[in-house]
């Protein structure tokens, strides 16, 4: 090689290095000096060239990425919530709900008097909120985001029966939540982790509103769920709640993971805690002034047990989560409703 060629090679190498430096500096300037978006961009670029064999190295649950068969590849266009799969080999039918049309439900009128005034309050469905809680409000639901665990401690919303009967198509992507000031978990945190991006407020609860449907795919509404759990017993429970929303015209739902120190984590950019339990608390009020509630507490694993076997008093969920549900109810009603959950008050057991 001639001296001219050697100098040309060195010049080309230096030029490439300078271009790379200017590119990185430009990224930081573009994102206002914040490193997280730059790291996120790098992870997305790197994932294009990363083979699936390295993704599950430290993951004890070596199941494929949700929606895939035999390979652990990222699938951002796949919604793992309420997907009909064969993960439950002998899917049991749901209990006899005595399903009725909206016209045949409890009554055509709303509760009246003081109770009606209470449940019409904007924040009636919210648990007790402390001064330093990061509460995020979206169109269809509100949540309390806990940065330490990179997910919501609870998601709360009203669910009218009419809301589950729309024809809005499901979203095909997940989104970072711009309303979470500390920054939500990101899509890549779940990639090749072996866990589903499990909805807390399910997308199918917002079928009559395009904005609500899209917001249900914010990563703040997502929690790591075992595939057999998310697509099995948890999906069954979500379907059951929608049946109740139609029957009673409206139910109030608070749902989330049981968060506690020492949970295992997943995530490339964020340490997302993997809960070992999830809960769902449901309340409704009849025109006759009856208030009834029911709660479910279940492990983050597949199960063939009937949903009724996971029913617990609301007080039990408050005990394991430290969350005070429906604090705006008058104390006598709250104490009575939360002391017991009676499945037979909600559906006939077989």
DSSP 16-29: HHHHHHHHHHHHHH
CA torsion through residues 127, 200, 235, 228, sign = negative
Number of helical H runs and strand E runs in the chain: 8, 11
Q: Are 105 and 249 in contact (CB under 8 A)?
A: yes
d(CA 266, CA 113): 49
Q: Which of 187, 183, 204, 205 is nearest to 196 (CA)?
A: 187
Point out which residues pair with 320 in neighbouring strands: none
Residue 209 to residue 158: CA distance in whole angstroms? 14
Q: What is the rounded CA–CA span in Å between residue 232 and residue 235?
A: 5
Active site residue 199: yes
Rounded-to-integer distance, Cα 7 and Cα 112, Å:
87
Q: By three-state DSSP, how is residue 301 classified?
A: coil
Tell me which of 5, 30, 187, 199 is the catalytic residue.
199
C-alpha–C-alpha distance, residues 295 and 280, integer Å: 6
Catalytic residues: 199
């Amino acid at each position: 090689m001639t001296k001219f060629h050697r100098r040309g090679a060195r010049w080309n190498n230096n030029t490439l290095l300078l271009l790379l430096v200017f590119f990185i500096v430009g990224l930081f300037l573009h994102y206002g000096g914040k490193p997280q978006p730059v790291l996120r961009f790098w992870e997305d670029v790197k994932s294009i060239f990363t083979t699936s064999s390295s993704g599950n190295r430290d993951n004890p649950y070596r199941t494929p990425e949700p929606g895939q068969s035999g390979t652990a590849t990222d699938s951002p266009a796949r919604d793992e919530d309420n997907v009909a799969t064969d993960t439950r080999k002998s899917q049991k039918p749901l209990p006899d709900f005595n399903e009725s049309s909206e016209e045949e439900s409890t009554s055509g009128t709303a509760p009246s008097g003081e109770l009606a005034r209470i449940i019409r309050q904007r924040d009636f469905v919210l648990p007790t909120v402390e001064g330093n809680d990061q509460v995020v409000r979206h169109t269809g639901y509100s949540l309390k985001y806990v940065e330490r665990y990179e997910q919501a401690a609870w998601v709360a919303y009203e669910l009218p029966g009419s809301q589950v009967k729309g024809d809005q198509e499901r979203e095909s992507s997940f989104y970072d939540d711009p309303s979470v000031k500390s920054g939500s978990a990101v899509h890549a945190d779940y990639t090749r982790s072996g866990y589903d991006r499990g909805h807390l407020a399910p997308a199918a609860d917002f079928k009559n509103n395009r904005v609500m449907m899209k917001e249900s795919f914010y990563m703040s509404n997502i929690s790591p769920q075992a595939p057999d759990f998310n697509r099995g017993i948890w999906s069954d429970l979500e379907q059951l709640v929608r049946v109740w929303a139609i029957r009673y015209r409206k139910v109030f739902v608070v749902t989330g993971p049981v968060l506690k120190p020492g949970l295992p984590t997943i995530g490339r950019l964020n340490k997302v805690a993997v809960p070992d339990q999830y809960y769902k608390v449901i309340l409704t009020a009849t025109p006759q002034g009856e208030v009834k509630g029911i709660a479910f507490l279940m492990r983050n694993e597949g199960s063939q047990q009937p949903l009724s076997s996971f029913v617990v008093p609301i007080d039990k969920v408050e005990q394991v989560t430290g969350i005070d549900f429906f604090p705006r109810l008058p104390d006598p009603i709250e104490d009575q409703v939360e002391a017991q959950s009676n499945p037979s008050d909600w559906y006939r057991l077989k």
